Every structure is written in C-alpha cells, then in structure tokens.
Structure 1
Amino acid sequence: MIEFDRVTISYYGATRPVLSTVDLMVDEGELCLVAGRTGVGKSTFLGAINGLVPHFTGGHLRGSVRVAGQSTADQPPREFAELVGVVGQDPLAGFVTDTVEEELAYGMEQLAVPPDVMRKRVEETLDLLGIAELRRRPLRTLSGGQQQRVAIGSVLTAHPRVLVLDEPTSALDPTAAEDVLAAITRLVHDLGTTVVVAEHRMERVAQYADRLLYLPGDGSVRSGPPAEVLATADVAPPLVELGRLAGWSPLPLSVRDARRLAAPLRDRLADRVPAAPAAGERRTALEGKGVVVRYGELVAVRGVDLTLGRGEVVALMGRNGSGKSSLLWALQGSGRRDGGSVDVGGEDPGKLPERARALVGLVPQTPGDLLYLETVAAECGQADVESGAEPGTCRKLLDRLAPGIADDGHPRDLSEGQRLALVLAVQLTAAPPVLLLDEPTRGLDYHAKRHLTTILAELAAEGHAVVLATHDVEFVARTVGRVVVMAEGEVVADGPTAQVVVSSPAFAPQVAKVLAPQEWLTVDQVAEALND
C-alpha cells in the first residue's frame, strides 16, 4: 500500500538529511506505529506519504514514495485527499468551518459525495468517536481533546484507504484515547484501512501495532515487530522498561501479558514500599474559593475550592471537557471567572491585570500562542522589560531549562520541547509564586519529559507552587505528589498521587496496573527498591 524506495529528504541549510536512503513497504491493513525522539523526522516521514513533503513544506526529496501505486512526485497532495487522510498535531489549525457537524461534512463536500451518503457517514462518525452530543457546538468552544476527536472524524468520513495520524491521542484523556484507538483498530481489522500513527505516548498504541517504524535520528528507519524493535530502541513505554529491568523475554506490550510474567517480581517487592515523595511547604501559595466559570448556559467550573502550598507539584486530571483549562485560566486571572475568589499573597490576580503575570504564570496548551516576535533573543528581551527584570534574566532561565538555543533562531522553528522551555522562561522571568501548565507534555518524548520532571522539581524546591492540567498518567506518576480529579466542573477526588491513581482503572500508570495491589507507580521506584 505504501512504498518508500531509497527516499532521502533534506532541507535547505541543514547539515544532514532528515531521512536517508529509506526503503520500506507497508502492507494494506497494517497499523504502523512511528516512534523516535522529538525532532528526528517523524512528521517529515508522515508528510511524505501524501506528498505534503516536499510539495508544501519545501526541501528536496530523492527516490520515490508510492501509495496504492501512485507516486507523490506525479500529483499534488490534493489529488491524494481521497486516498490518504491526514490529521496533524494541531487540530484547530486544520478546521475550515464553524461547527462540528459542518466540519465532518466538509471533506466529503469537496470530494462530491452524494448528500444522502454524507448524512449517513456523519452520523456513523459521531457515534464511532463518541461526540454525538457535540454535533452543533462551535469548534472554538471545544476542549483540546474534543477538537482532536473532531479532527479525526473529519478525515474518517471520507473513508480513506490510508490514515496518517500525528500525535492523535496527545490531548485525549485515557478513556477517550482508548475509544479512539478502538475505532482505529476496527477500521484496520474490519475495513482493511492502512494506518500510520506517530505517537510519543507509546504505551497507548504499542499493543495494537502490527509494526514499529523507529527513527533513531541518523536518517534511517528501522522496521519490525514492536517487541523486537523496542528491545534496543532509545525510547520505550514504561511496560517495556519494566520488562527490560525484570529480564522478561519476549518483552510484553500489554498489561495482561506483563501481569502473567510479573508474579516473581511482585514477590521480590512484597516487603518493600515506594519512597514517599517530598511534601510541599505548609505556607499557602494560592487559595481559590467557590470559583465559577460559565460560557452562556454551560457551567464549566462549579464552585471549586482549591488550595496550593509552596513547593507543591499538583496534577489536575479528568476527562476532556471537565473544566480543567477553564479553572486554570480563572485562577490566573486572564480567563473568565463568574464567581468565587482567588487569593495569591493577599492579592486577587483577576482584579489586578497589570500584576496577574507576577502573581500567577500560565503556559497554555499551545505555548507558541504566547510567542509573537521574530527571534528568541527578542522574546527574552521583551520578557525582561515586561517583568521589570534585569536584562538577561530570561535568557539565563532559558539556558537552564534548554541549553543551546540560538539567539537568532525563530521561535516557530523550535521543537515542541524547546518552545515549551522558552515560554516557561518567559513566564518565570516575572518570578510568580504560582505556575500553571496546561498539557505541558504534548509533543515531548520520554527523555524530554524526564528533563521537564527535573525542572519542575527544581521549581518546587525554590518554593513555587506548580499545577499541571494533563492526561499523561505516566508523567503524573513520575512528577507529582498530589492529584486533583475534576468531572463536570467539580472536584471529585483530591489526594496523594498513589492513593488517587492506583484506585482508578483509567488514571493508573502501567507499572501500577502490572504490580497491583502493590502501590508502585514508576520503573524508577522499582529499580531503586531492587537495588536497595
């Protein structure tokens, strides 16, 4: 179905090709997982499948890419629209209509699908992805995860033979991600659709993949069975890391397979307990009381009380649309707040817009939204001016977070991790006692997440209170000491990480599921206990 024949792709000014002499075949009805560290060329590989690379992105392609026998060199990407469906990392950037139903129908309109068939496919897709209740909602009022499901649905309605997905579950809660992956798996097995997925949260997809395409970063692509390739890959889900540590062979890719092998490991750990995370200071950094946020008739946050202590790292979790982002923006002061109060050191950031950034820093789901200048140096300089900090303060923070970013680089050319680091540096320049991050791990590989964990631990050690709104259960297990769970705008759980996530089938990390009822959360905890 997909054939890469000695494909080499290079960009102007780059010191080496992104892909070099790649030969591979993807058969019809295969589900292929594309993996590798941030910036190794996964998006370039996906873009080459329908000709977006190099027709749209620029660059030079040698060799040939064929889909169902058609060469991407002979036709522009629009001619592949019926054959290859593509969903990018940023769903909102790809929307062209106003409402969910219109967006699902738009692609079919361009392909001249008969109206009666269009209506039937729209209804099927709404049910398939569990978004029927969003049918008439304006796209811009949806949460990030809801937008992602609509973006996937808008492609599925055209019934493409090949489906290309770039980080399709990055903004989805665990249950929604399972639903989307179940729908994709049905397409593969029931309709023979060929699916190529690039996903940093490999723990969600690896067990469903027929093949793993691993990009080590040297321009090559290693292809093979997932367990075989992951045995030596530089990136691997926690389940595989646990299997490596325990010496299991073959490496398990599902919790079920791992639990069948884990009895001896559970016996070795039976008389040991995980190290308790460091507690934050008792001094209160932020106190929210009765916070309410409304959008018309929709009540997004319903009288939430939330207290944060200095030195505390807290995860805010819950299904898509539960009110997490609305709560963060209300606490920061820039978003809507229709009731309640927020106190940060005796001041309310919502009533002091000129001081809000100095009281509470916020990094949104798309950090690039806060970057508007032409160079990294200009962004850092402006942050110093706006925060009243000494010149060079933001640059020093950036060097600490992500060393090696050039001053003359354009912020839009940075990797996801580098862009996140720059926005973090901009926000921290004002030295706010409270830092809020909305889905900070989107686009980050496992190594980058470990680095972010270290950064947040350092910030907590300096006395900052940090809140992460996230669906990344593995990152939560490694990083935070307290979890707050929201549902329909209300707090339904608040407690220590192990206590909250281990008791939840949806939010439990892979290690917890494998070693339950013992309360181990991460591979690092297990390794430390075994070494002791």
Structure 2
Amino acid sequence: MIRFDEVSVVYAGADQPVLRDVDLTLEEGELCLVVGRTGAGKSTLLGTVNGLVPHFTGGTLAGRVTVDGRDTAHFPPRELADVVGVVGQDPLAGFVTDTVEEELAYVMEQLAVPADVMRKRVEETLDLMGLADLRHRALSELSGGQQQRVAIGSVLTAHPKVLVLDEPTSALDPTAAEEVLAAVVRLVHDLGVTVVLAEHRLERVVQYADRVLHLTGDGTVTSAAPPVAFRTASVAPPVVDLGRLARWDPLPLSVRDARRAAAPLRQQLTGRPVPPARTAHATDGAPALTARGIVVRYGDVVAVRDVDLDLRAGEVTALMGRNGSGKSSLLWALHGAGPRQAGTVRLADAPSTPVESKAVRRFGARRTTKAEQRRRVGLVPQTPTDLLYLETVGAELAQADRESGAAAPDGARDILDRLAPGIPDDTHPRDLSEGQKLALVLALQLTTAPDVVLLDEPTRGLDYQAKRALIRIVDALAAEGRSVVISTHDVEFVAASADRVIVMAEGETVADGSTADVIVASPAFAPQAAKILAPLPYLTVGQVEGALAAAGTGTR
C-alpha cells in the first residue's frame, strides 16, 4: 500500500537530513506505530505519505514515496485526499467549518460524494466517534479532546485506504482514548485500512501495533515487529520497561500478558518496603493559593461549579477528569486571565480579589503590576503557540531571561535543553514540532519560577525522556516551595510526579486525595505498573527497581 524507496528529506539550512535512505513497504491493513524521541522526524515521516512533505513544508525530498500506486512527488495532497486521510497534532488548526456536523461533511463535499451517501456516513461517524450529542456544537466551544475526535471523524467519512494519525490520543482522557483506538483498530481489521500512527503515549497503543517504525535520531528508520523493536527502542512504555527490568521473554506489550508473566516478580516483592514514588516537599503552613466558590460559565454552560481549592507550597497537584469536565476553565480562573463569574482567589500574603470588581478580570490587577502578576502565578496553556510571538527561539529565550531578571544568561536555554535538547537558536518557533513548541513555552514560563505554576496538558508531544526531565523540573519547583498544578490525562506522568490528585466531573470536584489513593482506585486512571503488580501498592517501574536494589537482589 505504501512504499518508501531510498527516501531522504533535508530542510534548508539543516546540517543533516531528517530522514536518511528510508526503504520500507507498508502492507494493506497494517497498523504501523511510529516511535522516536521528540524532534526525531516522526511528523516529517508522516508528512511524506500524503505529500505535505515537501509540497507544503519545503525542504528537499530524494527518493520515491508511492501510496496505492501514486507517486507523492507528482500528486499533491489535494489529489491524494480520496486515498489518504490525515489528522495532525493540532486539530483546531485543520478545521474549516463552524460546527461538528458541517466538519464531518466537508471532505465529502470536496470529493463530490452524493448527498444521500454523505448523510449516512455522517451518522455512522457520529456514532463511531461518540459525537452524536455534539453534532450541532460549535467547534470552538469543544474541549481539546472533543476537537481531536471530530478531526479524526472528519477524515474517516471519506473512507480512505490510508489513515495517518499524528498524536491522535494526546488530548484525550483514558476512556476516550480507548474508544478512539478501538475505532481505529476496527478500521484496520474489518476494512483493511492501513494506519500509520505516531504517538508518545505508547502505553495506550503499543498492544495494537502490527509493526513499529523506530526513528533512531540520526535520520534512519528501522522496522520490526513490536516485541523485537522494543527490546532496544530508545522510547518504551512502562509495561516494556518493567519487562526489560524483569528480563521477561517474550517481552509483554499489554497489561494482560505482563500480569501472566509477573507472578514470580510479585512474589519477590511481597513483604518488601515500597519506596516512595517521589520525595514529598509540601509544607503544613498557610496555603500558597486559596480559592472559594469559583464559578465559570460560557453562555448557558457551567464549566466550573462552586469549586473550593487550597494549594499548598511545595505540593504538586494533578487535576484529572474526562474531556470537558472543567479542568482548563478552573486553571484559567485561578490564573486570572480567564473568566470567573463568582468566587474569590487569594495568594499567600496578598489581599483577596472580589469578583464583583471589573479590575480583577486580571488577577490582582488593582494591587499588582503585570510583572508581579507573572512572578506570582504562571500558566502554560494547552495551545503553547499562543505565547510565542518572536521570530526565533533564541529571541524568545532571551526575552524570557530579561523579563525574569535571570542571573544566569542561559537560564531559559538550560531548561529548554533539559526538555528538548538540540533546538538551534535561529529556528522559527512555528517550525518546531508540537512537543518542541511545548518545551519552549515551558522553558519561558518556568524561567520566572512563579509562586504558583499552572500547567495545562504539559506532556502533549513529549517523549518519555522529556517527561522525566519535566518531572525533575517540577520536583525542583516544589522543593523551592512553589505550588504546582498540572491538568493532564497522562496517568503515568501523574503517578511519578504528583503528591495529590483532584478529579473533576461536570465542573465539580468528585475526588481529592493522595495520588496512590485516588488513581489506584480508578481502573481508568491506574498506571500500568499498578495494574500489573496489583494488589501490591506500586505505581511506577522506578519504585520496583528501587525495591529490588534495596534488597540487593536481581529479578528472576
């Protein structure tokens, strides 16, 4: 179905090609998982399948890519739309209509599909993607996860032979991600659709893959069956890390297979002290931020409903819940840049800000300068490009250092290199991958080290190594007495980084407690290590490794 014949891609000004001499054949009805570090070239590889590379991205493509017999060098994306459906990392950027139903129909209109067929396919897709209740909703009013499902559904209506998905579950809660992946697997198994999928949250998708394409970082691509590929892959989900640690053979790729292999390991760990998943830094003093009676409405929709919240200095709090539960709206209300129809927010050693005054539409506007506001509360939004406005990465980093008064001239650069190393200063921020953009914005915001740090889906587009670097940065902020709130669907990240978990539903808090108590009690939120080793109270592979090391024994 897809043939790469000695394909290389190099961008203008680059020292080396992003892809080098790629020679692959992807068969009909295969689900091919593309893995690699952030910035390794996964999006470029996907873009070659429908001609986005090089027709729209620029650069030079050598070699030949054919899809269903069509050479992408001679067929631009619009002439491949009936064969290849593509969903990018930012679904909102790809929408061209106003409502869900209109967006699902748009591609078919461009392909001149008969009206009666269009209506039937729209209804099928609404049910397949769980969008029936949203059919008349404006796309701009949907949560990030809902927008992702609409984007996938919009290309499915054309019944393509090849489906290209770039981070398809990155904005979805665990349950919604399972629904989307189940739909994708049905397309592969029942209709013979070839799916090429890049995803950093490998724990969600690895068990469904027929083949793994591993981008090693030097431009080369290796192809192998998943159990073989993940023996040595530079990125791997927790189930694979645990299998490597325990030396299981064959290497399990699902929780079910891992539990079958884990009986000796569970026996070995029984009765041993469980190391903490992270070092606690929370203080018992006054809260760093106190919120009371927060209400946020958008028209008739109540996004946040009378929420009370105390954030302690040195504590890392994870905010979880299904898409549309009000997490982002609460963060923006706490920050002060978003709407808040009722309630008050107080910072430690600062006066309360009554909602009745128009001046407090921005946090503490009557009492603090903008520089002081940014120093006290920092927010990284779901769409990090909203905060990027200069021409180069170097200019953004330098501006952050100037505004924060950083003592070290490379303060922001040091944070960026820990998250996504190797990004040149002269790169335009809009040319970065989504993961690199997020890493850049995190570096800009964390340079100021505010008293309260609010992160909205900070792990989107980040590989496991970058997430570990982010955990170290978050832990350092907590050790300095900062309060950190992370809104996320990434249960593995929460297990390793958070002291406390708050679960929201329909704008209300429905659970609030320690990480172990909250996420293990929920099948949807439990991390892979907890599922594999239950009933033992382990959350991360690092805890298992620590317990074995403390006992002075290896695995068997």
With the length of structure 2 as denominator, give the TM-score of the two structures: 0.92
Give the match for residue 455 of structure 1. Answer: 473
Name the CA shift for 1:420/1:131 in 2 (closer, same or farther; >3 Å).
Answer: same
Give the match for residue 315 of structure 1. Answer: 318
> What is the alpha-carbon distance in structure 2 between the residues aligned to residue 289 and residue 194 of structure 1?
51
Extract unaligned runs of 5+ from structure 1. Answer: none
Taking the TM superposition and a 5 Å limit, the aligned residue runs for 1:511-530 are: 511-530=529-548
Q: Is the 8 A contact 2:50 2:80 kept in 1?
A: yes
> What is the alpha-carbon distance in structure 2 between the residues aligned to residue 161 and residue 414 of structure 1?
29
Taking the TM superposition and a 5 Å limit, the aligned residue runs for 1:48-59 are: 48-59=48-59
Please, which of 281, 284, 291 is the counterpart of residue 283 of structure 2?
A: 281
Taking the TM superposition and a 5 Å limit, the aligned residue runs for 1:278-357 are: 278-283=280-285, 284-345=287-348, 346-347=350-351, 348=353, 350-353=362-365, 354=370, 355-357=372-374
Q: Is the 8 A contact 1:502 1:508 kept in 2?
A: yes
Name the CA shift for 1:127/1:396 in 2 (closer, same or farther; >3 Å).
Answer: same
Deviation per residue, 1:384-441 (Å, 9 max, x gap): 56x5x43766842432442665544432234545433432343344442100000000
Give the match for residue 241 of structure 1. Answer: 241
The answer to whether residue 398 in structure 2 is matched with residue 398 in structure 1 is no
Give the match for residue 82 of structure 2. Answer: 82
Structure 2 counterpart SS, 1:463: coil
Give the match for residue 493 of structure 1. Answer: 511
Give the match for residue 163 of structure 2. Answer: 163
> What is the alpha-carbon distance in structure 1 between the residues aligned to residue 247 and residue 42 of structure 2?
30
> What is the alpha-carbon distance in structure 1 between the residues aligned to residue 397 and residue 2 of structure 2?
44
Give the match for residue 31 of structure 1. Answer: 31
Deviation per residue, 1:326-348 (Å, 9 max, x gap): 00000000001111111112243
Give the match for residue 13 of structure 1. Answer: 13
Deviation per residue, 1:171-214 (Å, 9 max, x gap): 00000000000000111111111111000111111101111111
Give the match for residue 498 of structure 2. Answer: 480
Q: Is the 8 A contact 1:398 1:421 kept in 2?
A: no
> What is the alpha-carbon distance in structure 1 between the residues aligned to residue 513 and residue 282 of structure 2?
13
Please, which of 348, 365, 369 is the counterpart of residue 382 of structure 2?
A: 365
The answer to whether residue 143 in structure 2 is matched with residue 143 in structure 1 is yes
Aligned length: 530
Range with bigger deviation, 347-356 or 169-178: 347-356
Name the CA shift for 1:335/1:394 in 2 (closer, same or farther; >3 Å).
Answer: farther
Q: Is the 8 A contact 1:310 1:460 kept in 2?
A: yes
Please, which of 430, 433, 439 is the counterpart of residue 457 of structure 2?
A: 439
> What is the alpha-carbon distance in structure 2 between the residues aligned to residue 392 and residue 267 of structure 1?
52
Structure 1 counterpart SS, 2:232: coil
Name the CA shift for 1:407/1:223 in 2 (closer, same or farther; >3 Å).
Answer: closer
- The amino acid that maps onto 2:497 is T
- The amino acid that maps onto 2:534 is A
Q: CA deviation at 1:279?
A: 4.1
- The amino acid that maps onto 1:494 is D
Q: Is the 8 A contact 1:163 1:193 kept in 2?
A: yes
> What is the alpha-carbon distance in structure 2 between the residues aligned to residue 49 and residue 454 of structure 1?
37
Taking the TM superposition and a 5 Å limit, the aligned residue runs for 1:179-328 are: 179-276=179-276, 277=278, 278-283=280-285, 284-328=287-331
Q: Is the 8 A contact 1:381 1:392 kept in 2?
A: no
Range with bigger deviation, 423-432 or 201-210: 423-432
Q: Is the 8 A contact 2:128 2:183 kept in 1?
A: yes
| RMSD between superposed Cα atoms in Å | 1.7
> What is the alpha-carbon distance in structure 1 between the residues aligned to residue 79 and residue 415 of structure 2?
46
Q: Is the 8 A contact 1:291 1:302 kept in 2?
A: yes
> What is the alpha-carbon distance in structure 1 between the residues aligned to residue 540 and residue 155 of structure 2?
36
> What is the alpha-carbon distance in structure 2 between the residues aligned to residue 115 and residue 351 of structure 1?
51
Q: Is the 8 A contact 1:148 1:168 kept in 2?
A: yes
> What is the alpha-carbon distance in structure 1 between the residues aligned to residue 505 and residue 3 of structure 2?
45
Name the CA shift for 1:147/1:224 in 2 (closer, same or farther; >3 Å).
Answer: same
Name the CA shift for 1:238/1:491 in 2 (closer, same or farther; >3 Å).
Answer: same
Structure 2 counterpart SS, 1:231: helix
Deviation per residue, 1:212-242 (Å, 9 max, x gap): 1111112221111101110111111100010
Q: Is the 8 A contact 1:399 1:405 kept in 2?
A: no
- The amino acid that maps onto 1:75 is F
Q: CA deviation at 1:360?
A: 1.2
Q: Is the 8 A contact 1:316 1:484 kept in 2?
A: yes
Deviation per residue, 1:87-112 (Å, 9 max, x gap): 00000000000111110110110000
Q: Is the 8 A contact 1:375 1:408 kept in 2?
A: yes
Structure 2 counterpart SS, 1:136: coil
> What is the alpha-carbon distance in structure 1 between the residues aligned to residue 425 and residue 275 of structure 2?
41
Q: Is the 8 A contact 1:381 1:391 kept in 2?
A: no
Q: Is the 8 A contact 2:406 2:447 kept in 1?
A: no
Q: Is the 8 A contact 2:335 2:363 kept in 1?
A: no
Structure 2 counterpart SS, 1:188: helix
> What is the alpha-carbon distance in structure 2 between the residues aligned to residue 409 and residue 209 of structure 1?
34
Give the match for residue 174 of structure 2. Answer: 174
Structure 2 counterpart SS, 1:518: coil
Q: Is the 8 A contact 1:313 1:482 kept in 2?
A: yes
